[in-house]
Amino acid sequence: MVEKRIMIVDDDDVIRMTFSKILKLEGYLVSDVNSGEAALTVLEQQEFALLIVDLKMGGMGGMELIQRVLEKYPRMKIIVITAHGTVKTAVEALRQRLHDYMLKPVTMEEILVSVQRAFEESAQEIELAEARLEYGRRDDSNWVLCESVTVNTKLQRIYWEDESRNLTPSESRFLGALLESKGAVLSYVDLVYKVHGYHVEEEEAAVILRPMVSRLRQKLDETPCQGAVIQTVRGAGYLISPVV
C-alpha cells in the first residue's frame, strides 16, 4: 500500500496552508514548505509519494526543483499548480511525465481528484511491479536479477517497476547463457557460439563480444539492480552474479 504522504511547495502562505489543512482533513499526511531549497532539505529526511509544486517562487523556481527531484526520485508523483503557466512550462511538464499540470484559479475539488488519481496510479504501478516479479519467478524465460528487475529472454526485454528496455537478440542470448550458468564463468569461445552460432579462436571471440557487453552494461546500469553485473574474468570469459 502506498503511504499517502504529500509535500506542498508554495511561497504563498495562504494557499499553502489552505491546501495543507484540507488535504489533512481528507486523511493525507501533509508537510508544507515555502521554497524549493526547503523542499530538497525535507526530502533528504523523509519520504514522500507526491509533491504539489508552484512554479514561480522566490529563489529556486518550481521547474528547477522538479528536475532535481526527478533526478534523485524518478518515481515521484508531481502535480504543478500555477498562475504563471506558459506553453514552454506545459511542454516541459509533459516531457517530464508529471502527473498533472493545473492553472490557478483551481478548485479544491479538482485538486482532490488529481491527488486521488496520483495515489491510485502509484498503487497500480506497485501492483504491476509485484506481478512482474512473481511472473519472473515462475516463467523459465524470465530471470530475476534482483528484487525489482527481471529479464525476459523470449520477449528480449528488461523490466523494473513500470519501466522496461529492449534487448537485441544477441544481448538476450548472451544474458540468457550467463544466467543459465548460475554464476559459473563462460568462456569467450562458448559465448560466441551460444550468441552467434559459430566457432572462433579465443582472442577473436573476446573482440567480438566486447562492444555488445559494453552496450549491455549501459542498459543494466539504468536499472536499480546495482548488484547484478556482468563481470569480466580476464583471460577466461564472463559471468553474472544475480542478486535475488
Q: pTM value?
A: 0.57
| Predicted local confidence at residue 229, as pLDDT | 76
Q: To which H or E segment does residue 107 belong?
A: none
Per-residue pLDDT of the chain (244 residues; tens, 9 = 90+): 457 899 999 999 999 999 999 999 999 999 999 999 999 999 999 999 999 999 989 889 899 999 999 988 888 999 999 888 788 888 887 777 789 999 988 999 999 999 999 999 888 777 766 665 555 554 556 787 776 788 888 888 888 887 888 899 999 999 989 988 878 899 999 999 999 988 899 999 999 999 999 998 888 888 887 655 788 998 899 998 755 4
Domains of the chain: 5-129 (3.40.50.2300), 139-240 (1.10.10.10)
Report the alpha-carbon distance of residue 205 to residue 217 in Å, rounded. Answer: 18
Report the alpha-carbon distance of residue 82 to residue 62 in Å, rounded. Answer: 9
**What is the dihedral angle through the alpha carbons of 211, 243, 43, 110, rounded to the nearest 10 degrees?**
90
Helix, strand, coil % (nearest 5) of the chain? 45, 20, 30
Are 106 and 83 contacting, i.e. CB atoms less than 8 angstroms apart? no
